Every structure is written in structure tokens, then in C-alpha cells.
Structure 1
Amino acid sequence: MSNLGLNAYRRVLSVPGASLFSATGLVARLPLSMESLGIVLLVVAQTGSYGLAGSLAAASTIANAVAAIVQGRFLDRVGQPRMLPPLIAVWALAVAGLVVSVDAEWARWTAFACAVVMGATLPPIGTCVRARWSHVVSDPRELQTAYALESVVDEAVFIAGPIVITVLATVWDPAAGMATMVVAGVGGTLFLAAQRSTSPPPHPRVEAAGDQPRMPWRTVVPLVVVAAALGGLFGSAEVATVAFAEERHAVGLTGMLLALWALGSLLAGILVGAVQIRRSLAFQVKADTFALMCGMAPLAFIEPVWLMAVALFIAGFAIAPGLIAALTLVQQSVPGARLSEGMAFVHTGLAAGVAPGAAFGGVVIDAADSSAAYLVSVACGLVAAAAAQALPHPSPIRQRSTGASEPLEP
């Protein structure tokens, strides 16, 4: 990478407190990539039921998607230092309750209750960290670099988390994997909450209706649809890749194939943060969703495993840039008093799309094969690209603090 690219990251990480809260956020968000898999490994080991395991994981995921917007709203109103500790404490108790209820063979409703509470109280650490970046960085291009950095962290978390909990669950004990997840989540979240100097100030609710900052729904709604469609793409592609490897008697390579997909996204995220993109954010979302759709199209026609590995790696390059542009667009469009809530809408869209995408992909696999399931991913990409076209015409960059900035090209 050129010195210019390295300097972009060096500048944002030199902001006082930034490197600390970003590193803390990496640890604190590990449960996001470990929770569902940890539930499956725990329940299957104790009961042998994949159906129950999948149902509990789905209950947790759905609860997380539903609660994310409410969490974001309260994070904006009361602030991260007050909101995060009680959330993570209840989450840890719910994890412990799930482990005990499954191990002791309590009534199934207790396990489902714990799974729902787990999902509903898992803090949105990624949103919290990005809100901190928005608070400490005023230059829009530096903020894009910061968001690119967090995208890289996201990909690293989703590569490392499943590996850690799988190794602990299979080599040691499923409960050990869940315990490690709790240690990372509780320790990282409490340490993040303790970093008050970089936390955005709370914005208490103003009773006068006329004083309420408005949510820019013309931008937020298309982005939520884009996010939901991308969630469907991710869910269906993951299921299709598992089936693809199984059909070719190479189940052991499933993790490698998905890791290469994530690696492509990670590298693209690094590149986005290292260069200055002159196009508007709305244009970037439109271009990246179209590129992702096109990147997924060849997968339905690939037979050799090695070629699929290459194709997934290349397709992954369109993931991170689109998500970075979408979240940066939220940051520039949504009032600061509702920033966490605005980001939560996008994350909720992503989470809400994964389960139906995976389910529909599974139905197609049962009826046909993995190749047909990849066409589901292409269809989701088409929906995302179409929804992106509804984004309003780009306008010059709006600063949250003093200082001028140049408008981007449409």
C-alpha cells in the first residue's frame, strides 16, 4: 500500500483515544460472530437436535434485529456509558441461563426465553464505535477511512469468532466456547463504556414536537431495503456454499471458501480507506450493489472447487465498499441526535434479511441444487441494486462541525 494510503489510516488512528476504542470494539463485538454458532454447537452437543439448535439461534437473531432500533434510540438519548453496562450484564445472565437450561434439560420455553433475551440485549458495538468515530472526526474523508477501518474489523471478527468458538466447543467443551464469548463481550463492552472522553454526548428527548430532529426517511428507507436485500444475499450464499462443498464431497473446505469471500471484502475495505473516492456516497452504493450482483452471477455456473474459491474471493471485493458507503451516507444524512438509531436501521435490515435468505436458499437447494441457490443470491443483489436507485440525488457533503469541505462529484 502507498504511503498516502498508510497516512490515511495513521491520521485517523492518531486522534486521541481513537485507537483504543477501535481496538476495544474489536474484542467487544466478537459475540456478534460467535453467538448463533455457539448456540448451535451447544444445543447439538447436549441434545443432538439440529432443529432445536437452529430454532434457538433464529430466535436470538430475530430478537437482535427487532431490538437494535430501540437500543440505538436509547443510546442516543442516555449515552453509551449509561446504556452499555446494564445491557451487557443482562446479556451475560441470559447466556448463562441458556447454558444451564440446555444442560439441565429444563422445559424448552426456558431456553427460548434465554435466547430471545440474549438477542435483545446484545449491545450494538459496531454502531457504538462508528458513532464515536463520528464524534471525534470531523473531516468527511477521514471519517470514510475510519468507517473502512471498522469494516475491516468487522470482517476480522467474522473470520476469527467462528474459528475460536468452534475449536473451543469441539476440542474442549461447548460451554467453554460460550464462556469465552461472555468474557470477550463483557470485558470489551465495559471497557468501551468506561472510555467517556470519546463517547458521543447524550441527546435527551425534547418534548416539543417541533424541536425533534427529523429522520431523513427518503435516504434511510432505501438504505434499509438495500441492507435487507444484502442480508438475504449473504444468508443464501452461505447456505449455497455449504451445499456446493457437500455436493463435491469437500465439506471440510466450506470454511475456507467462506473465509476467502470475507477476505476479499476485508481487502476491499482496506483499499477504500486508503484512497480518496471523488464520487458521491449515493453513487457508490448504487455502483457497489450492482457490482456485487454481477460478482455473484458466475457462481451458479461454476463446478471446480478451486474456481469457486477464486470467484468468491473476487465477489467479496464488492461487499465492504457498499456497506462503508451506506453507513457513511447515514452519518452524513441523519441528525447527530439520532445517529445510533439511524445506523441501527441499516444493521436491522441486514440482520432481518439473513434468515429468510438462508431459508429460501435451503428450499431451493432441496428442490434443485447449490447452483440454483446461488441464483437466489443474484436475485437479492438485483433487489439491492434496484432499491439503491431510489436514493435521493447526491448533495454536497454536510459537516457536523465547523470546517468546509468540497462537494463530491455526482
Structure 2
Amino acid sequence: MASVYRQAFATPGASRFVPAAFVGRLPISMVAIGIVLYIQHTTGSYGVGGTVVAAGTISEAALAAQLGRALDRFGQARVLLWCLAGHLVGLLGLLVGVGVDAPRPLWYVAGALAGGLLPPVGACVRARWSRLLGGLPLLSTAFALEATLDEVIFICGPVLVTWLVTGVTPASGLAVAGVLAAAGTLALAAQRGSDPGPRPRAASGTRPRVLRDPAVRALLVVIFSVGVCFGGVDLSAVAYGRERGLGALSGLVLGLFAFGSGMSSLLYGARASAGGPTRRFLTAAPLLAVAAWLPLAAPNTAVLLPFMVIAGAGASPTLISANALMERLIPPEARTEGFAWLQVALVTGISAGAPLAGALIDRYGPRAGFTVVAGAGVLVGLAALSARRALRAAEPAGRPATMEPAAGGPTVPVGPAGVGTPAGRSATEAAADRP
């Protein structure tokens, strides 16, 4: 298993952009929880904090397409720096506004700015992998590596931010998140060699309309449902841990969910060639749908902890295969935008799940929040079932192959359609079907 990950990490430039992106997206797992805990400390309500987080994720959804297009068109460095500046202004405004009890609408403005301009480091790093390994079976392994790092982030981030909020000062969680965002984003922006942009405009002067593809829309509906699950897990796990007296370690309950997801992504990446991305996606989503019910079914803490690991194990295969599908469906000149839309679907789902779980927690206690997680499991299963036709219909509909030079390596086929593969199937899928 380790050898295939060593091959991915040996890709030219990966040893530099992977660590930078890891640090730069660590705040993804800290900002939402940091906002909720900071506001809960001031107001006593998880629900108010959840609605401020929702304002940020709605803003992110509104801006993501424009940011994705800008990243593809102008390159990552310029756009990342502007996003970082806006994000830090929003965080500072939120810290000051809540601290001095400014009018509530200002909290939502600051939250929207901080969330909407959170640097899209995850989309950027996946676009770099796609540029270097597009059309090769190793790309799924690279996406699995990124998913594993995401889960490490969601293990470390909640524990770190809850420790800072409860053990240092309520504002320190967001302050540290801002420092980490600045350090990682600046380091990634400085690495121009692996940046897939800027890209010239197409000869026709038009860009592909990502959301016009029914397969893309179906994929996004499933990922939105996964986001609802994550939003419910975030608040419910932390609130449950605090209620049971875990204090600074209350993020550990959520960390176990991320641990299960990280372990499953490692195993998934080692077997990334076992089946095409559509089949893997349509297999993984129903498994997550079932696993999402486990936290609600746990009768006590001793049972809940291993159930959180199992529930988390259902998450990564769904997200990894979704990224592999998006890489196949979207042409290179819009690929960062495509990955950004996946992030939008996920965080929009979180924005729906978090306030709903917060309201239930405020009224009925932390365990009630897990009903959102279980209900989201139903959504995942139904959405995956309804997406089957559109995703399978997209399999034989290949687009003209695009050749793009991988940095430090030979020219390789990238994009939804491969070169020399039957029925327009991608090179990744053709290789996946070999014994």
C-alpha cells in the first residue's frame, strides 16, 4: 500500500505543494467550530453560532463559481492572495464584532466575508494533481491521499480549536485559524511551477457551462447531502463531548469520525484501480447512507465512540470517487471551477445541517443533533439512487481528449476522455478494468 502513495508523492512538485496545502486548509476544520464556540460563549446559544456559519457557507456557495473561473483564467497565486486578504478581514471583524457585542447583522456580514473568501486551497491542490496526473490511474491515488490528509485535518482541527477555546481564550481558536490560513495559502501561492493556470480563453471565446451537464448536477446533489451529514456531525459530536465533561477534548468525538474516514481513504487509495469511478461512487454512497445511522443508534458513549469510527469510514470513498468523477466530466479549462463546485455542494450542505442540528441541540440536547446525521443518510441514499441514470449515461459520452504536459514529465492525456480508449472512456477507467 505504501508504495503506491510513494509514487504519487514523487510526482514533481508534490513534495512542496502538498504540505503547503495541508496547512492552508487546516482552518476548514477550525473556522466553523471556532465561530460556533466563540458565539456560544458570548450568547449561550449553539443555534446563533450555527446561523452565522450558515451565512459564511452561503456566501461561499455564491462566490465559488466566480472564484473557480478566476483561478482557471488568471492562475492560483493572484486569486489566492485576494481571497486570503478578504478572509482575514472577515475573521477580524467577527472577533471584534462579537467581542464588543456589535449589532447582530454585522456578525453575519463578517461571517459571510470570512466564509465566502476562505481560500479555496482544496480545489487548487486537486487541480494541480489533475494537471500532473490527469488520465492516469495514479490520479485516484493522489485524490485518496488528499482525502486522507483532509481527515487528518478534521481529526486535528476540532481538537485544536476546542482546546484553544476552552483552555486559552474563546477568541484564540479563530485567531490561530487565521494564522494557519495565511501561512499555508502564501506558501502555496508562491509555488508557480505546478500552478495549472493561467489559461488562455478558448478559441471560440466561450467557456464550458459546468452546471449544464446533468451528470455534474446529479453528482452535486449527492455531495450536498453528504454535507448535511457533516454539518450535523460537527455540532452534535462537539456538543455531546462537552455535555459529557470532556472539556478541551470534546473535539475528540468528532475526531474519531474523521479517523475512520481517513483510514478508509488510505485503503481506498491503495485499491484505486479496482473499478471505474462511477461504479465506485454508486457503491460508496449507499454505504455512507447506512453508516450515518450508527451515531443515533448508539445507546451510550462506549458504543458511540466505535460507531463514530465506522460512520466516518463511509465518508471518504464517496468524496474521493466524486472528485475522480468530476475530473472526468469537466474539461481542463474549467477543472478548478468543477472542483470548486464540489466544495460548494459540500459546504452548502454543511450550512443546512449545522443550524438544524444546533436548533435541535439547544432544545432537546446533543443526542438530538444526531437525528440530522441519520436523516442526511437517507438523503445520501436517495440522491445516489436518483443520480444513477445521469452518471451512467455520462460514461460513454467522452469529450475530445486534451493533451497537457505534466511538469517534469511526458505529455499525458487529461480530461474526461482518454486517448486510445474504447467508446470514449477515460484512460483511468480503461486501466481500472484490467485484471
Q: TM-score, normalised by structure 1?
A: 0.88
The alpha carbon displacement at 1:165 in A equals 2.1
Contact 1:245 1:305 in 2 (8 A): no
Amino acid at match of 1:392: R
The alpha carbon displacement at 1:54 in A equals 3.1
Deviations 1:257-280 (A, max 9, x none): 322221111011111222243311
* Structure 2: distance between partners of 1:409 and 1:297: 33
Contact 1:237 1:377 in 2 (8 A): no
One of 263, 272, 281 as aligned partner of 2:277: 281
Report what 2:207 is aligned to: 212
* Structure 2: distance between partners of 1:195 and 1:266: 27
Measured at CA, do residues 312 and 330 of structure 1 come closer, stay the same or move farther in structure 2, by a change above 3 Å?
A: same
* Structure 2: distance between partners of 1:98 and 1:236: 23
One of 95, 101, 106 as aligned partner of 2:97: 101
Report what 1:111 is aligned to: 107
Report what 1:150 is aligned to: 146
Measured at CA, do residues 38 and 407 of structure 1 come closer, stay the same or move farther in structure 2, by a change above 3 Å?
A: same
The alpha carbon displacement at 1:81 in A equals 1.4
Same amino acid, percent of matched pairs: 33
Q: How does 1:23-172 map to 2 (within 5 A)?
A: 23-48=19-44, 50-172=46-168
Q: How does 1:392-403 map to 2 (within 5 A)?
A: 392-393=392-393, 394-395=395-396, 400-401=402-403, 402=412
Instruction: Say which SS state the counterpart of residue 199 (structure 2) adopts.
Output: coil
Q: How does 1:6-405 map to 2 (within 5 A)?
A: 6-48=2-44, 50-206=46-202, 208=204, 211-215=206-210, 217-239=213-235, 241=237, 249=244, 255-361=251-357, 370=368, 372-373=371-372, 375-390=374-389, 391-393=391-393, 394-395=395-396, 400-401=402-403, 402=412, 405=427
The alpha carbon displacement at 1:102 in A equals 2.5
Measured at CA, do residues 117 and 25 of structure 1 come closer, stay the same or move farther in structure 2, by a change above 3 Å?
A: same
* Structure 2: distance between partners of 1:257 and 1:162: 9
The alpha carbon displacement at 1:256 in A equals 3.3
Instruction: Say which SS state the counterpart of residue 198 (structure 1) adopts.
Output: coil
Contact 1:24 1:191 in 2 (8 A): yes
Deviations 1:166-217 (A, max 9, x none): 22222222333222212111121111111000000222444845x5335361
The alpha carbon displacement at 1:162 in A equals 1.9
* Structure 2: distance between partners of 1:380 and 1:283: 19
Measured at CA, do residues 352 and 214 of structure 1 come closer, stay the same or move farther in structure 2, by a change above 3 Å?
A: closer
Question: Which shows bigger deviation, 231-240 or 273-282?
Answer: 231-240
The alpha carbon displacement at 1:218 in A equals 2.5
* Structure 2: distance between partners of 1:377 and 1:251: 26
* Structure 2: distance between partners of 1:45 and 1:239: 14
Instruction: Say which SS state the counterpart of residue 119 (structure 2) adopts.
Output: coil
Measured at CA, do residues 167 and 149 of structure 1 come closer, stay the same or move farther in structure 2, by a change above 3 Å?
A: same
Report what 2:423 is aligned to: none
* Structure 2: distance between partners of 1:95 and 1:382: 36
Contact 1:13 1:19 in 2 (8 A): yes
* Structure 1: distance between partners of 2:360 and 2:174: 32
Question: Which shows bigger deviation, 56-65 or 70-79?
Answer: 56-65
Amino acid at match of 1:80: Q
Contact 2:33 2:235 in 1 (8 A): no
Q: TM-score, normalised by structure 2?
A: 0.83
The alpha carbon displacement at 1:228 in A equals 0.8
The alpha carbon displacement at 1:357 in A equals 2.8
* Structure 1: distance between partners of 2:298 and 2:104: 42
Measured at CA, do residues 237 and 384 of structure 1 come closer, stay the same or move farther in structure 2, by a change above 3 Å?
A: farther
Amino acid at match of 2:292: M
Amino acid at match of 1:113: V
Contact 2:257 2:311 in 1 (8 A): yes
The alpha carbon displacement at 1:364 in A equals 6.5
Measured at CA, do residues 374 and 71 of structure 1 come closer, stay the same or move farther in structure 2, by a change above 3 Å?
A: closer
Instruction: Say which SS state the counterpart of residue 389 (structure 1) adopts.
Output: helix
Measured at CA, do residues 244 and 169 of structure 1 come closer, stay the same or move farther in structure 2, by a change above 3 Å?
A: closer
The alpha carbon displacement at 1:323 in A equals 0.6
Structure richer in helix, relative to its length: 1
The alpha carbon displacement at 1:240 in A equals 5.2
Contact 2:294 2:308 in 1 (8 A): no
Measured at CA, do residues 99 and 258 of structure 1 come closer, stay the same or move farther in structure 2, by a change above 3 Å?
A: closer
Any gaps of 5 or more consecutive residues in structure 2?
A: 404-411, 414-418, 420-426
Measured at CA, do residues 207 and 102 of structure 1 come closer, stay the same or move farther in structure 2, by a change above 3 Å?
A: farther
Contact 1:293 1:382 in 2 (8 A): yes
* Structure 1: distance between partners of 2:328 and 2:321: 10
The alpha carbon displacement at 1:407 in A equals 4.9
* Structure 2: distance between partners of 1:234 and 1:374: 7
The alpha carbon displacement at 1:90 in A equals 1.8
The alpha carbon displacement at 1:105 in A equals 3.2
Measured at CA, do residues 41 and 260 of structure 1 come closer, stay the same or move farther in structure 2, by a change above 3 Å?
A: closer
* Structure 2: distance between partners of 1:12 and 1:243: 38
Any gaps of 5 or more consecutive residues in structure 1?
A: none
Amino acid at match of 1:264: G
* Structure 2: distance between partners of 1:109 and 1:375: 32
* Structure 2: distance between partners of 1:20 and 1:317: 28
* Structure 2: distance between partners of 1:299 and 1:39: 24
* Structure 2: distance between partners of 1:348 and 1:340: 12
* Structure 2: distance between partners of 1:266 and 1:367: 31
